[in-house]
Each structure stands twice: as C-alpha cells, then as structure tokens.
C-alpha cells in the first residue's frame, strides 16, 4: 500500500516538473511554383495581377517556363509534371516531364517551352506522384512584342511641341524662343526599359525608366532660350530592353537652323471679308512658307508662297468667322515659326474724327475779317497823317 502511494507521488512530481511536450506539425503537401525570367530574375506566373511576360510566337522562339515542386517531406518515387495552356500558339513542349527516384528528393524541377500568343495565356500545372494527383496550380503568362520609336521635338511659336523628322533640321527665326526635348514611345505590347547609353547617357534627363505598352516618355534636353543658341545638329544615343531581354539601340538625329528674318501684319485688326496681309524680310531664299489663319485653335484658311528674294508678302481675304481675338501663323515644314495676334471685327473701325465741317468754313471768314480790320486801320492811320 505504501509503495503504491510513493510511486504515485513520484510520478506526480515528475509530471509537474517536466516541460510540456510540443505538438508535432502535420506533414505539409507539395508546394508548386511556376516562373519565367523577366528583367533578369525569376518572376512568378501564379500572381494573376502581375503575370510574367514572354515573346510572341512564331515571331520569336518559345519562352522557357520552369515548374518547381517542393515536396516538403512527402515521399514520392515515381512522378509526372504536366503543363497545359489552351491559348498558347502551338501548345507546350514537352507536355509532360517525368522521373523515377530511388532516394526521395526534396525538390523537383521541370522546364517547359511555351509558344506564347498575344495577350494572356492561362497555364495549368498538375503534379502526379506514385500514380495519384498530389498537387496542382494555375497561372498565366502574357505575350507581347517589342516595338518603339524615338525622336526630337521642338517648341513652336504657339507653345506646342512639334516633332522634327529624323535626320532633318527645323528652321526658326534666330530670335524665336524655343526648347528641345527627346520623346521615347513604347509602341509595342510588352514593357520596356529605357537605359542610358553611349557618350550622351547622362545628357538626356531620362535616366532609367520602364515604359508600359503604349506609354511615352518626354525627356527635357534644352530649356527655353533663343533659337540661335540651339543652332546645330542634335544626336542622342538610346537603348531599350524589354521584360524578356530583347534590346534595341538607336541614334536619334535632328537639328536646327536659324535666319534673321522677321514677320509682321499689315494691320493689327481686320474685318470679316477684308484682306489680311503678312510681310516678311530676311528669309532664306527658295524656302516654302505657309500662312495659316487660326481661330479658336482651328485652322480655317491656308495660303502658301515661296521666297525668291528673301522678302515675302502673303495675303488672304478673312473668311466669314467669329469675331474676337485670333492669330495668324506662319508655318514652315510643318512647324509654326511665327504667330501674330489679330483682332477680328464685324464692321471696320471708324477713323479718328477730324475737325467739324463748319470749322473749315469759319477759318476763311475769320481771315477775311482780320484782313478787313487791318486794312481799315491802315486807311484810318493814313487819313490822320494827311490831316496833320
């Protein structure tokens, strides 16, 4: 009896002093990841909000997609990984990846080649272990193609930016205020990154920027200043890299030439139907110029002329239009190089009023009266002299 009590007491003491036994976690199932290499790093294809990218087939080769299975202690000896895509161009190769292991591994990896179509390509991966499905996942890869454009733009006389044709020089008056910038546009369907490149890498205030499809980037190059200080050739080297790794390099070329000529209106106001005259001097000879009347930012008339002597006279009858403030623009080679303000009225302004008509009649009468008075005084003076 005593022995039983001592044994029970000893067991109680041992139980009270011992640390609690931790719970043993249950074995987790396999974890599946599906990745593609974008921007030089693996990107998950299981995030539907941010799918990875691949190049379009058949324009480019198939995109490598990696399926990795972390077994997490699940014993598997015979296994099969299957990847399918109903939207991919030509499907997936190989359709399945299989193996048999004597020693149970901790990780399995299969690489598939997916011929990606435009847009979102859904992907389904299924993992079979020892003849049974023990894991699956769904993801997507987006297909796109690299296409881009770049060029110089110049600030015109109206404050708008106008493109300079590649390897072409804009023509502006030397005293005109202008600025120059580089514009890069992603015209493709895949993200691309602009990178500094060449000797001008730090000369364009762009730095490294990622452009989404149909997005453009404006890079300041020369701020507002007189055109004569910008005269010369423009050359910039640019490089872009898309998400999958394709690169494109391009030298943007343009330029600016100036002349010392000026433009002026014959009058600061005109009536509807009346003539508007623009004159100019000091222009480059043999160059075509266009006169453009704009009202409310809409061109309503266009006339052209070519200089032969450096002088230019363009005129047109003001069309029936609204009255108010307008502008007459001079356009050369698609760029507005001068913009002159014009006040449009319905009725011609009356000239300043002159002296009244009666005043012109009164002046001769006054002069005659003065002359008569003077003559009478002279006669009176002579009579007095004779009488004395």
Residue 8 domain-assigned (yes or no): no
Residue 370 has pLDDT above 80, yes or no: no
Tell me: do 302 and 269 sit in the same domain.
Answer: yes
Nearest to 279 by CA among 242, 241, 311: 311
The two counts, helices (H) then strands (E), for the chain are: 2, 27
Percent of the chain whose pLDDT exceeds 70: 80
Greater confidence, 99 or 305? Answer: 99
Tell me: do 109 and 140 sit in the same domain.
Answer: yes
Residue 380 domain-assigned (yes or no): no
158-180 average pLDDT score: 93
What's the CA gap between 11 and 45, in Å, rounded? 57
Of 67-76, 80-89, 245-254, where does mean pLDDT reach its minimum?
Answer: 80-89
pLDDT tens-place string over residues 24-74: 344 468 899 999 999 999 999 998 778 899 999 888 889 999 999 999 988
The listed range with the strongest mean pLDDT (20-24, 27-31, 149-153, 265-269) is 149-153
Q: What is the CATH number of the domain that holds 309?
A: 2.60.40.1930
The per-residue pLDDT for 26 is: 42
Residue 249 domain-assigned (yes or no): yes
Of 155-159, 186-190, 271-275, 346-350, where does mean pLDDT reach its minimum?
Answer: 346-350
Greater confidence, 81 or 6? Answer: 81
The mean predicted confidence, pLDDT, of the chain is 81
Tell me: do 252 and 160 sit in the same domain.
Answer: yes
Domains of the chain: total: 3
Q: Which of 124, 144, 164 is the last residue of a domain?
A: 144
Tell me: do 293 and 333 sit in the same domain.
Answer: yes
Tell me: do 107 and 35 sit in the same domain.
Answer: yes
Residue 358 domain-assigned (yes or no): no
Tell me: do 109 and 95 sit in the same domain.
Answer: yes
Q: DSSP letter string over 176-204?
A: -EEEEEEEEEE-SSS-EEEE--STTTTTS
Residue 13 domain-assigned (yes or no): no
Tell me: do 275 and 302 sit in the same domain.
Answer: yes
The per-residue pLDDT for 79 is: 92
Residue 4 has pLDDT above 50, yes or no: no
Q: How confident is the model at residue 344 (pLDDT cuts 50, 70, 90)?
A: confident
Tell me: do 140 and 157 sit in the same domain.
Answer: no
Residue 22 domain-assigned (yes or no): no
The per-residue pLDDT for 33 is: 95
The per-residue pLDDT for 353 is: 54
The per-residue pLDDT for 358 is: 58
Q: What is the CATH number of the domain that holds 215?
A: 2.60.40
Tell me: do 126 and 35 sit in the same domain.
Answer: yes
Q: Would you call 37 helix, strand, or coil by DSSP?
A: strand
Tell me: do 278 and 221 sit in the same domain.
Answer: no
Residue 379 has pLDDT above 90, yes or no: no
User: CA of 267: how far to CAs of 173, 262, 340, 370, 376, in Å?
Assistant: 21, 15, 11, 45, 54
User: CA of 110: how far to CAs of 33, 62, 141, 153, in Å?
Assistant: 11, 15, 17, 49
The listed range with the strongest mean pLDDT (47-51, 195-199, 364-368) is 47-51
The per-residue pLDDT for 18 is: 39
What's the CA gap between 124 and 138, in Å, rounded? 5
Greater confidence, 179 or 119? Answer: 179
Tell me: do 168 and 193 sit in the same domain.
Answer: yes
121-132 average pLDDT score: 91
The per-residue pLDDT for 22 is: 40
Q: Which of 238, 259, 280 is the last residue of a domain?
A: 259
Range of the domain at 134: 31-144
Residue with tokens 């390099």: 249
Tell me: do 156 and 67 sit in the same domain.
Answer: no
pTM for the full predicted model? 0.72
322-336 average pLDDT score: 83
Q: Which of 242, 259, 276 is the last residue of a domain?
A: 259
Q: Where are the alpha helices (DSSP H) in the chain?
A: 2-17, 357-387
């Amino acid at each position: 009896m005593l022995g039983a009590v001592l044994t029970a007491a000893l067991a109680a003491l041992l139980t009270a002093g011992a640390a609690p036994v931790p719970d043993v976690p249950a074995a987790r199932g396999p974890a599946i990841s599906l990745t593609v290499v974008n921007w030089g790093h693996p990107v998950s294809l299981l995030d539907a909000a941010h799918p990875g990218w691949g190049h379009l087939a058949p324009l480019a080769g198939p995109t490598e997609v990696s399926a990795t299975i972390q077994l997490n202690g699940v014993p598997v000896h015979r296994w099969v990984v299957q990847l399918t895509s109903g939207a991919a161009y030509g499907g997936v190769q190989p359709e399945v990846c299989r193996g048999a292991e004597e020693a149970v591994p901790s990780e399995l990896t299969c690489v598939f080649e997916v011929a990606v179509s435009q847009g979102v390509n859904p992907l389904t991966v299924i993992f079979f272990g020892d003849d049974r499905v023990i894991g699956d996942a769904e993801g997507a890869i987006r297909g796109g193609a690299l296409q881009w454009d770049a060029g110089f733009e110049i600030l015109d006389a109206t404050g708008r930016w106008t493109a300079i044709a590649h390897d072409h020089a804009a023509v502006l008056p030397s005293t005109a205020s202008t600025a120059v910038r580089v514009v890069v546009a992603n015209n493709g369907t895949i993200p691309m990154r602009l990178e500094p490149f060449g000797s001008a890498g730090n000369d364009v205030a762009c730095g490294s920027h990622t452009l989404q499809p149909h997005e453009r980037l404006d890079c300041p190059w020369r701020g507002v200043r007189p055109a004569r200080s910008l005269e010369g050739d423009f050359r910039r080297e640019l490089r872009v890299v898309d998400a999958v790794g394709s690169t494109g390099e391009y030298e943007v070329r343009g330029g600016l030439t100036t002349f010392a000529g000026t433009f002026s209106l014959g009058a600061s106001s005109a009536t509807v139907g009346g003539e508007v005259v623009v004159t100019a001097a000091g222009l480059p000879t043999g160059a075509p110029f266009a006169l453009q009347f704009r009202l409310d930012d809409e061109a309503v008339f266009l006339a052209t002329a070519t200089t032969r002597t450096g002088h230019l006279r363009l005129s047109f009858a003001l069309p029936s239009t609204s009255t108010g403030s307008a502008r007459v623009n001079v356009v050369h080679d698609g760029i507005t190089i001068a913009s002159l303000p014009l006040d449009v009225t319905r009725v011609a302004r009356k000239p300043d009023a002159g002296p009244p008509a009666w005043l012109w009649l009164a002046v001769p009468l006054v002069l005659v009266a003065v002359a008569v008075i003077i003559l009478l005084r002279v006669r009176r003076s002579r009579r007095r002299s004779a009488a004395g």
